[in-house]
Amino acid sequence: MPLTSLTKDETILRDSVRRFAQNKIAPLVREMDEAQKIDPALLPQLFELGILGIEVPEQYGGFGGSFMGAILAVEEISAVDPAVGVLVDVQNTLTVNALLRWGNEEQKKKYLPRMNTDTICSYALSEASSGSDAFSLKTQARRDGEDFILNGRKLWISNAAEANLFIVFANANPAAGYKGITAFMIERGTPGFQVGKKEDKLGIRASSTCELLLDDCRVPAANVLGEVGKGYKIAIETLNEGRIGIAAQMLGLAQGAWNYAARYSQEREQFGKPIASFQAVQFTLSEMAIEIEAARLMVYNAARMKDAGLPFVKEAAMAKHFVSQMAEKIASQAVEIFGGYGFVKDYPVEKLYRDAKIGKIYEGTSNMQLATISKLILAAR
C-alpha cells in the first residue's frame, strides 16, 4: 500500500467529517469570525462526531484511530473553517498525543475519557520572550512538599477560552537550563490559575488565543506529565507531530479556497461567457490544483511515517514549510479570481486569505522549519 493511501475506516471518517463541516460548520463561519468565538453549540457536536480524541484507545472510551485519521479530520474541517480546524488539531496532535505518550496510567484513566467526550485541552508553551526560542521560557515551578507552585505568564495559547484542561510548561530547575523544563496538567478553576486577555487577531479569529496567568498556582506533583525536567522532550516530540497537523490545516484551507474559486469561475460571466472559459483562468486553477495535490502527498506521507513508527521529523518540517507557503499563495490567487468580490467579506475567500497567514508563523516559523531541514539533510550526507 502506498504511504498516501487511505484505509476503509479513514475514508469513512474523512467523508463523515466533510459532510459535517459542510452542513453544520459552513453556515456559522462568517458569524463566528465576526464574533471572534466558536459557536458553543458546535463543541458537543464535535465530541459526538468523535473527532476530538481520534487516537484515544478503546480502553479509555475512544475509537483507537490513527494519527492519519486525525490529520484527515483537521484537513476536512479546515477546508470550511481553519479556525475550527486548529481547535481539532491542537486537541488531537498536541494534547491527546502528549498524554498518550507521556502520561502514566492514572493520568490516562482520569483525562483521556474526558478529552474524548467533553473536555477541550490546551497546550501552553509560548511566552512573551520564548517563541522560536521556546526553551527560554520564564515561568517557574517551585517544589513545595507534594505540590509545585507555579508563577509566570503564557501567551498565544490556542483553545484557551474553551479549554478546561491545560498542559503548561514551566521550569522546575532554572539552574539546569532547558533540562529543568517540566510539563504540568492544570485544570481550569485551580486557585492561582487564570485565563487572561483574548487576542484580537488578523485571521482564524473564531479560534481563541489567550494569555494564561499563574500566580502561586499550586499543582499536585501527581499532575506532572512525564518526569520532572523532561518537559523539553515532550515539547519537542509533540511539536514535531503538531507540525503535520498545521500542514493539514493549511492544506484544507487551500483546498477550500480552490473549491470556491473553481465554482465561482463557472458562475461569473464576463464578455458574455463564464470566466472559466478563459485560458488564463483555466491555467491558474490548474496550477493551483497541482500545488495542492503535491502538498497533500507531503502531508499524508509525513502522517503515514509517523503512524508507522518511522523517523518523520524532516518530512514534517518540509510539509509544514511547503504547505503553509502554498496555502497563502492559493488563497491569494482565489481572491484574484473573485476580483473585487474577493476583497469583501460577503465572499469566503477574503477570510481564507486572512486565515492563511498564521500557517507560516505558529508551531515553528518557516525559518525554523528551514533550519531543521538543513540540519537533517546535511547530517545525512
Q: Can you tell me which residue has the cell 458569524?
A: 31
Angle at 248 between CA 301 and CA 63, to 5 degrees: 80
Strand ranges, E, within the chain: 121-124, 140-144, 147-158, 165-171, 181-187, 193-198, 209-220, 224-225, 269-270, 273-274
Distance from C-alpha of 330 to C-alpha of 323, rounded to nearest angstrom: 10
Among 75, 315, 328, 363, the active-site one is 363
Q: Please, what's the b/e burial string for 310-341 (b: 16 or more CB within 10 A of its CB; e: otherwise)?
A: eebbbbbbbbbbbbbbbbbbbbebbbebbeee
- Say if CB 88 and CB 51 are below 8 A apart: yes
- Taking the C-alpha atoms of 63, 105, 101 and 122 in order, what is their torsion angle to the nearest 10 degrees? 80
Give CA separation, 193 vs 135, 188, 211, in Å.
22, 7, 11
Half-sphere exposure of 160 (CA within 13 A, CB side): 23
363 is an active site residue = yes
Neighbouring-strand partners of residue 198:
210
- Say if CB 71 and CB 245 are below 8 A apart: yes
Distance from C-alpha of 94 to C-alpha of 269, rounded to nearest angstrom: 45
Quickly count: other Cβ atoms within 10 Å of residue 224's Cβ: 22
Which residues are catalytically annotated?
Answer: 363
